[in-house]
Amino acid sequence: MSTFVIKRWRRSLLLPVAALALTACASEMPTDESDAADDGGSVEDADGSVITVGSNDSAEGVLMANIYLGALEAAGVEVDTQLNIGSREIYWPALEQGEIDLMPEYIGSLHNHLTGGDDTITTTEDLLEDLAEQVPDDIVFLDPAEAENPNAHLVTPETADEYGLTTLSDLAEVSDELVAGGPPEARERPDGLPGLEEVYGIEFADYRDLDNGGPLTIEALIGGDIDVARAYATMGVIADEGWINLEDDQNLMNNENLTPAIRQEVLTDEVEAALNEVSARLTTDELIAMNQRTEVENEDPDMVAVEWLEEQGIGDE
C-alpha cells in the first residue's frame, strides 16, 4: 500500500508577484534559527529535516513539484512547498540563497541561463558536467529523467497550411508577417528571440508578452491574437488543439531533461534514492499524459501526482 499523503496544510502557495520579494530581500535573510522562526521560515532547513520544494510558474512545474513532494514523503522526509515562484530569473537565485531547497530543472535552459548560451555543449551528460562547474558547490544535480520538455514554437494547422510551415527554417521566410507571443523573458534568453534571429534569421512583426506556456498564451493562439506561441513541447493542449510544433531543424534548443537540483545540506541517501527513482521512471509520454489531465481536463495536480506515484509503485511497502 502506498505510504505517501499529500499534506495540503503544509503548502505555501507563493504567487509570482509575491515571489519578487525573494530576491529583493536577500540581504535581510534571518541570520539565526530564532530569527528564521519569527520570519515564518523553516528552522529545520539548516539540518536537513525539512526540504522546501519550489516550482516555476508553469502547470508542469507545479505538477513536478508535487511528484517530488510525494516521493519524498513516501521516503519519510518532511517536506514543505513554495509553488508558482516565477521564472528562472526569480527562482534560481532563491535556490542559490537557500530560500528553497529543491527544484525540478530543465538542464538545457538552465545552462543557457547560467552561461549565456554555448552551442558546443549539447548532450545531457556534457550539460550536467558543465552545469556542475557553473553552480555553487552546495547545489547538486541528481539523475536526469528520460523525460524532457524542450521549448516549442507552436502554430495552428491553419497557419501551418497557409504558410507551408513545418520547421523553424520555414518560419524564417515569413516571420516578418507574423506575430508571436509567450513569456517576457524570451526576449532576452539565448534560445529565445536572440537565438531565433541569430540561428534562423527569424524576426517577428511583433512579440507580445504573455505567460509561461499558460492560459494567456494558449488563449492568444486559439483566438488568433498571435500566430506563433512560444511555449513547451509537452503541453497537453497541443494534441487537444492539433497544434503544430515547428521542428528545430538547426538545433537551437538544448536537451531539456528534467533533473532535480537540490541543496547539498538537505541531501541524504534517502532523499537521493527517492528523487532518482522518480527520474528513472518518468518518460516524456507520461509527462504529456499528466499535463493533458491538469491543463486540459483541469484535474488537481496533487492528485495526478499521487496517482502517477502509485502507478509506478513509488512509496509501496
Predicted pLDDT at 317 = 54
Nearest to 106 by CA among 64, 53, 167: 64
| 315 or 92: which leads in pLDDT | 92
DSSP annotation of 30 reads: -
Task: Name the least confident of 32-46, 76-90, 287-301.
Answer: 32-46
Does the pLDDT of residue 37 top 80, yes or no? Answer: no
- With H, G, I as helix, E, B as strand and everything else as coil, classify residue 184: helix
Sheet with 228-232, side-by-side order of all strands = 206-209, 179-182, 228-232, 151-155, 244-245
Which residue type is seen at 110?
L
Placement of cell 541543496 in the chain: 263
Residue-wise pLDDT for 134-160, tens only, equals 999 999 999 999 999 999 999 999 999
Alpha carbon 80 to chain centroid, angstroms:
18
Give helix 284-291 / helix 59-74 axis angle, nearest 10°: 110
pLDDT tens digit string along 73-123? 999 999 999 999 999 999 999 999 999 999 999 999 999 899 988 777 878
Pairing of strands 228-232, 179-182: parallel
pLDDT at 125: 94
**259 and 105 Cβ atoms separated by less than 8 Å:** yes
Q: Kindly state the average pLDDT of the residues 199-224.
A: 96
How large a percentage of the chain has pLDDT more than 70? 84
Cell numbers linked to 169: 527554417
Pull the grid cell for residue 235: 503541453
Query: Which of helix, strand or coil describes residue 196?
Result: helix
Burial annotation 299-311 (CB, 10 A radius, 16+ → b, else e)? eebbebbbebbbe
